[in-house]
């Protein structure tokens, strides 16, 4: 009955049949909008996230190393290092046909993911240095052992890039095959609004950590929301506009779950992260020391790919690009792709621009 209502073409005076058909389509979409809206309110469904099969390979405190199922046709395994704190890593395996990890495993990569986990008050003494020089190398070693390979490629996303670079820059003996920096800041003098807000003239990191101990998830959320205050308005407007489309609604539900799940920072980690990276910019200046060893980006000699996102306001392209000039590699490439910090790696645009680029670049060198 409902279908008939939308398919019959009544003869309306003064209106062409084409216009009538377009109005019918608009009415159909509005009916679907109402239907999906009421479903979202009255009967919200928990989105299915992380669809790619995986096994836990190793755990250390809250952190886990996962290995994803794949045909493993690419010789060199890939270790993915995301950000610590802020958000959960299931954004990289959000949903079927909308997952970076699924894309990479389908292309035959032996894919390992570091999930830093959710830290509690007992982890407030955990430093950036400890994560970079104690947890990460151990995870990489376990990944190498499991894969049976002699070398491994590392992909750092967002804060995962400075974290992995701080380790690799102080461990030139590590068998690194390729390095990919995806929206990871390297030169913090060009980091944009966060750099200004965290400037030592306006932000006292010591007082912040000494008072609060850890950085609560709500504070992290506030900082990111402030970075783009109109984000919620445009998200909801786009939802309303696309609410008739069940695929869009499914994607929105999964992404919305992730976008509202903020994680706290361990206090000492935050202190070191803000002071040595945002405020003193030690990584690119070559002044950083980790575990008693200097961090030298020039000691990285393997092929390096840096990927910046044109609309990124968390790690703007200008602070990602300098990596390719700081390393000693003869094979370096910088690409700037459409999208923001998240849409670079998650969503429809990412599946068209970023995933194929990263996969092809690595395949050619693995």
Per CB under 8 A, which region of 72-80, 179-187, 226-234, 301-309 contacts other proteins?
226-234
Pick from 145, 98, 117, 151: which is nearest to 349 by CA?
Answer: 98
Dist. CA 306–CA 333, nearest whole Å = 6
CB of 36 to other proteins, least distance (A): 17
Q: Which is nearer to other proteins, 205 or 362 (CB)?
A: 205
Query: Judged by CB under 8 A, does residue 330 bind other proteins?
Result: no
As given in the structure block, the two tokens for residue 248 are: 């869009």
x/- mask, other proteins, residues 80-119, rule CB under 8 A, reads ----------------------------------------
Dist. CA 182–CA 335, nearest whole Å = 10
Query: Judged by CB under 8 A, does residue 23 bind other proteins?
Result: yes
- The string over 294-318, giving b where at least 16 C-beta atoms fall within 10 Å of a residue's C-beta and e elsewhere, is ebbbeebebbbbbbbbeebebbbbe
CB of 209 to other proteins, least distance (A): 10
As given in the structure block, the two tokens for residue 86 are: 């802020």
Q: Which is nearer to other proteins, 16 or 330 (CB)?
A: 16
Backbone angles phi, psi at 153, to 5 degrees: -95, 145
As given in the structure block, the two tokens for residue 10 are: 């009544």
Dist. CA 120–CA 123, nearest whole Å = 6
Per CB under 8 A, which region of 80-88, 173-181, 223-231, 341-349 contacts other proteins?
223-231
Out of 45, 96, 150, 241, the residue judged to bind other proteins by CB under 8 A: 241
CB 304 within 8 A of CB 179: yes
CB of 256 to other proteins, least distance (A): 18
x/- mask, other proteins, residues 279-318, rule CB under 8 A, reads ----------------------------------x-----
Pick from 259, 239, 313: which is nearest to 49 by CA?
Answer: 259
Q: How many residues does the chain have?
A: 366
Per CB under 8 A, which region of 164-172, 200-208, 277-285, 302-310 contacts other proteins?
200-208
Dist. CA 310–CA 318, nearest whole Å = 10
Dist. CA 179–CA 303, nearest whole Å = 6
Q: Which is nearer to other proteins, 171 or 182 (CB)?
A: 171
Size of the site for other proteins (CB under 8 A): 39
Query: Judged by CB under 8 A, does residue 335 bind other proteins?
Result: no
Which residue, chain included where needed, has tokens 């491994």? 152
Query: Judged by CB under 8 A, does residue 150 bind other proteins?
Result: no
Residues at the contact surface with other proteins, assessed by CB under 8 A: 14-16, 19, 22-23, 25-26, 60-61, 120-123, 125, 134, 138, 192-193, 196-197, 199, 201-204, 207-208, 211-212, 226, 228-230, 233-234, 237, 241, 313
């Amino acid at each position: 009955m409902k279908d008939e209502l939308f398919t019959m073409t009544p003869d309306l005076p003064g209106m062409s049949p084409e216009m009538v058909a377009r109005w019918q389509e608009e009415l159909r979409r509005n009916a679907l909008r109402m239907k999906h809206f009421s479903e979202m309110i009255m009967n919200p469904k928990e989105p299915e996230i992380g669809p790619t099969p995986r096994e836990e390979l190793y755990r250390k405190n809250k952190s886990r190393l996962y290995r994803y199922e794949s045909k493993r046709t690419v010789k060199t395994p890939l270790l993915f290092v995301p950000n610590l704190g802020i958000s959960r890593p299931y954004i990289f395996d959000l949903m079927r046909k909308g997952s970076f990890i699924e894309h990479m495993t389908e292309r035959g990569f032996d894919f390992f993911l570091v999930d830093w986990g959710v830290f509690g008050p007992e982890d407030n003494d955990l430093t950036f240095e400890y994560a970079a020089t104690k947890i990460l190398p151990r995870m990489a070693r376990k990944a190498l052992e499991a894969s049976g390979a002699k070398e491994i490629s590392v992909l750092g996303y967002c804060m995962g890039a400075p974290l992995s670079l701080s380790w690799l820059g102080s461990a030139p003996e590590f068998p690194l095959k390729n390095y990919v920096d995806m929206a990871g800041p390297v030169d913090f003098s060009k980091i944009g609004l966060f750099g200004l807000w965290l400037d030592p003239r306006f932000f006292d990191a010591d007082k912040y950590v000494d008072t609060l101990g850890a950085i609560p998830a709500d504070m992290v959320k506030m900082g990111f929301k402030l970075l783009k205050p109109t984000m919620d308005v445009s998200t909801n407007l786009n939802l309303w506009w696309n609410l008739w489309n069940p695929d869009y609604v499914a994607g929105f539900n999964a992404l919305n779950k992730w976008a509202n799940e903020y994680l706290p920072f361990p206090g000492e980690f935050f202190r070191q992260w803000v002071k040595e990276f945002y405020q003193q910019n030690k990584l690119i200046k070559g002044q950083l020391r980790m575990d008693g060893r200097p961090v030298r980006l020039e000691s990285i000699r393997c092929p390096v790919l840096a990927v910046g996102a044109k609309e990124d306001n968390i790690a703007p392209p200008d602070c990602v690009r300098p990596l390719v000039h700081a390393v000693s590699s003869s094979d370096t490439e910088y690409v700037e792709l459409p999208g923001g910090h998240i849409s670079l790696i998650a969503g429809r645009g990412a599946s068209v621009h970023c995933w194929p680029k990263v996969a092809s670049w690595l395949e050619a060198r693995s």
